[in-house]
């Protein structure tokens, strides 16, 4: 069946723009946002921890949740020191059996392979955690306060990373600078709100269920998920922009 229109592959399109203009726009957007984050992250982490303490206090013994301040980068960050629960041998063994079962079954799944691969990734992480608590349960070196410390520092790094990576991704695109700036700010706000909610859920799971899920929470639902929504926001904007500019030869250039 013949086609009336044959579209060139998008790999052969390129965007031409001035390197000097890109550099000036990049510095004008990125530097103020990075400096603002460096100025505000002590206050942001304090507010996040106060919110977490208010929400979690009803699930913990009285006085069990404490706020700790420590130096990081140019100021002090606030983290939560809270109790944690260690898994019993039975809990570790059940997690081991379930993880092994998933590792055996998931490679044989024919449909939705992307979901199966991600679940396999989670199963491997949980298998390692289960084996550790079965064999070396008394040597676990990461209490909840160390998890809090790692999580908060990772979130700060992500907030500093977002303006840089999205500035490099958005600015070469042929559109006004204001929607690009708006999307970068929106991504930062989303990251702070989502990071706070995720932090509360993580601490709740570590206390109510056990630290056996600590590695699973961090490696599967930590920074990895941040990259998912960052890439998703970029792809959404780029798709809309490409649709609006299709056919405009003055914007989209061919690479040959």
**67 beta partners:** 80
Given a contact cutoff of 8 angstroms between Cβ atoms, the answer to whether 171 and 26 are in contact is yes
pLDDT for position 7? 53
Looking at residues 38-52, what average pLDDT do you find? 95
Whole-number pLDDT of residue 188: 95
This model's pTM is above 0.75: yes
Question: Would residue 2 be called left, alpha or beta, if left means φ above 0 and alpha means ψ between -120 and 50 degrees?
Answer: beta
The total number of structural domains in the chain stands at 1
Q: What does the angle CA 235 – CA 237 – CA 241 come to, to the nearest 5 degrees?
A: 115
pLDDT of 123-147, one tens digit each?
999 999 999 999 987 888 888 899 9
The residue that leads in pLDDT, 133 or 2, is: 133
* pLDDT tens by residue, 196-229: 999 999 999 999 999 999 999 998 888 888 888 9
Question: What 3-state class would DSSP assign to 20?
Answer: helix
Instruction: Tell me what pLDDT residue 111 has.
Output: 84
Q: How many CB atoms are located within 10 Å of the residue 41 CB?
A: 23
Domain that holds residue 104: 87-139
Please report which confidence band the pLDDT of residue 18 belongs to, taking 50, 70 and 90 as the band edges.
low
**pLDDT confidence of 155, banded at 50, 70, 90?**
very high
Q: Which residue in this structure is represented by tokens 């706000």?
A: 189
Q: How many helices (H) and strands (E) does the chain have?
A: 7, 4
pLDDT at 172 over 60: yes
Q: Is residue 157 domain-resident?
A: no
pLDDT the model gives residue 248 = 66
Specify the residue for token string 């609006």: 244
- For 253, the 3-state DSSP assignment is strand
CA–CA separation, 25 vs 166, rounded Å?
A: 12
Please indicate whether residue 175 or residue 14 has the higher confidence score (pLDDT): 175
Q: Could you tell me if residue 121 is inside a domain?
A: yes
Residue 256 lies in a domain: no
Q: What are the phi and psi torsion angles at 64 (to 5°)?
A: -75, -25
Does residue 96 lie within any of the structural domains? Answer: yes
pLDDT of residue 191: 94
Q: Is the C-alpha dihedral spanning 113, 117, 120, 122 positive or negative?
A: negative
Instruction: Tell whether 219 is covered by a domain.
Output: no
> What is the residue-averaged pLDDT of the chain?
86
- Please say if the pLDDT value at position 6 is more than 70: no
123 falls within a domain: yes
Q: Cα(103)–Cα(109) distance, rounded to whole angstroms?
A: 11
Residue 94 lies in a domain: yes
At residue 164, does pLDDT exceed 60? yes
Q: What percent of the chain has pLDDT over 70?
A: 89
Nearest to residue 118, comparing CAs of 219, 206, 229, 203? 219
DSSP 67-128: EEEEEETTEEEEEEE----PPPHHHHHHHHHHHHHHHHHGGG--S-HHHHHHHHHHHHHHHH
Q: List b or e across 69-81, with b for residues whose CB sees 16 or more CB atoms inside 10 angstroms.
A: eeebeeeebbbbb
Residue 118 in domain: yes
């Amino acid at each position: 069946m013949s086609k009336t229109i044959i579209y060139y592959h998008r790999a052969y399109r390129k965007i031409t723009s001035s390197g000097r203009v890109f550099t000036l726009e990049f510095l004008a957007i990125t530097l103020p946002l990075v400096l603002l984050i460096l100025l505000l992250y002590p206050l942001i982490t304090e507010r996040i921890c106060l919110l977490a303490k208010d929400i979690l206090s009803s699930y913990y013994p009285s006085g069990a949740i404490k706020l700790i301040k420590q130096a990081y980068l140019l100021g002090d960050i606030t983290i939560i020191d809270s109790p944690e629960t260690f898994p019993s041998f039975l809990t570790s063994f059940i997690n081991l059996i379930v993880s092994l079962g998933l590792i055996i079954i998931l490679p044989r799944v024919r449909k939705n392979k992307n979901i199966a691969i991600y679940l396999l990734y989670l199963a491997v992480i949980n298998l390692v955690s289960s084996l550790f608590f079965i064999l070396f349960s008394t040597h676990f070196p990461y209490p909840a306060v160390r998890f809090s410390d790692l999580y908060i520092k990772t979130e700060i790094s992500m907030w500093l990373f977002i303006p840089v990576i999205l500035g490099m991704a958005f600015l070469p695109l042929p559109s006004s600078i204001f929607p690009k700036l708006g999307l970068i700010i929106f991504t930062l706000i989303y990251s702070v709100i989502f990071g706070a909610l995720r932090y509360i859920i993580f601490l709740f799971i570590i206390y109510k269920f056990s630290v056996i899920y600590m590695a699973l929470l961090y490696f599967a639902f930590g920074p990895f998920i941040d990259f998912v929504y960052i890439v998703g926001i970029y792809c959404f904007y780029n798709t809309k922009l490409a649709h609006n500019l299709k056919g405009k030869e003055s914007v989209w250039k061919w690479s040959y």
